[in-house]
């Protein structure tokens, strides 16, 4: 990976074996997961999975998400999850499914020392509300879903640059570029001033390509087409 990148890579997934492998390779500096990824991995026992993940990641930051929709139950789950270890960040969505703001809950939890990862953020107004709400002395991650912004045809980079300036108001807060779509997003996130970007296994596999000469990549592509045609036994 290019040595001038300052951004921290967090592996995003719900496979404990992949988490352990990512930790061993020394590239990632933290982990995130969510209920959708856990469901896709066939996980049914939330706490058992979380404790296995904590063991596999061995003290590196890891985020686990609440799954309630009522704020009282969100708070109960958040405070329980926070007891699982010092490395744990509790993911709180910016709203519930009724689009009711989670900001009062975020303020309560953060002021009591719970490390939060506020998730599903897509607007600068949401970033401002979160930064105002989190405690100045409590670590927090502000997760802006830049990939989903890009999915709407909008360029997320200007928004992420402004978000980085807003997040800088709280020294214990970090801006996370969530839902990346390609390796280029790692470079963009770093240049925009993000502290963290989540990466999938596919993106991790491409890290060795950072800065690769394009003429070499062109030749690799030609060889791939030639070898695949030969392997297929094509004739004209």
Indicate which CATH number applies to the domain containing 47.
Answer: 3.20.20.70
pLDDT at 1 (0 to 100): 46
Ranges in the chain, pLDDT < 70: 1-3
* 226 part of a folded domain: no
pLDDT at 183 (0 to 100): 94
Residue 225: helix, strand or coil by DSSP? Answer: helix
* 163 part of a folded domain: yes
* 3 part of a folded domain: no
* 149 part of a folded domain: yes
* 97 part of a folded domain: yes
* 224 part of a folded domain: no
* 107 part of a folded domain: yes
Q: Number of structural domains, the chain?
A: 1
Structure tokens at 22: 């990512």
Contacts (Cβ under 8 Å, ≥6 apart) of 36: none
pLDDT at 207 (0 to 100): 86
**Domain span at 111:** 8-206
pLDDT of 15-53, one tens digit each? 999 999 999 999 999 999 999 999 999 999 999 999 999
* 211 part of a folded domain: no
């Amino acid at each position: 990976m290019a040595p001038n990148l300052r951004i921290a890579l967090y592996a995003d997934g719900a496979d404990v074996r992949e988490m352990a492998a990512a930790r061993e390779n020394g590239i990632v500096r933290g982990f995130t997961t969510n209920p959708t990824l856990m469901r896709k991995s066939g996980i049914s026992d939330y706490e058992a999975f979380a404790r296995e993940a904590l063991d596999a990641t061995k003290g590196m930051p890891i985020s686990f998400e609440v799954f309630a929709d009522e704020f009282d139950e969100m708070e109960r789950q958040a405070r329980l999850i926070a007891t699982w270890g010092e490395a744990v960040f509790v993911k709180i969505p910016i709203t519930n499914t009724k689009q009711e703001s989670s900001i009062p809950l975020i303020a309560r939890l953060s002021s009591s020392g719970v490390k939060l990862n506020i998730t599903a953020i897509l607007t600068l107004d949401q970033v401002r509300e979160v930064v105002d709400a989190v405690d100045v002395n409590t670590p927090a991650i502000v997760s802006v879903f830049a990939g989903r912004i890009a999915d709407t045809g909008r360029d997320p980079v200007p928004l992420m640059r402004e978000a980085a300036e807003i997040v800088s108001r709280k020294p214990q807060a970090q801006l996370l570029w969530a839902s990346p779509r390609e390796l280029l997003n790692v470079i963009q996130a770093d240049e925009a001033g993000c502290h963290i970007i989540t990466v999938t296994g596919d993106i991790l596999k491409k890290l060795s390509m950072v800065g690769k000469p394009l003429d070499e990549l062109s030749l690799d592509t030609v060889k791939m087409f030639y070898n695949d045609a030969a392997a297929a036994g094509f004739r004209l």
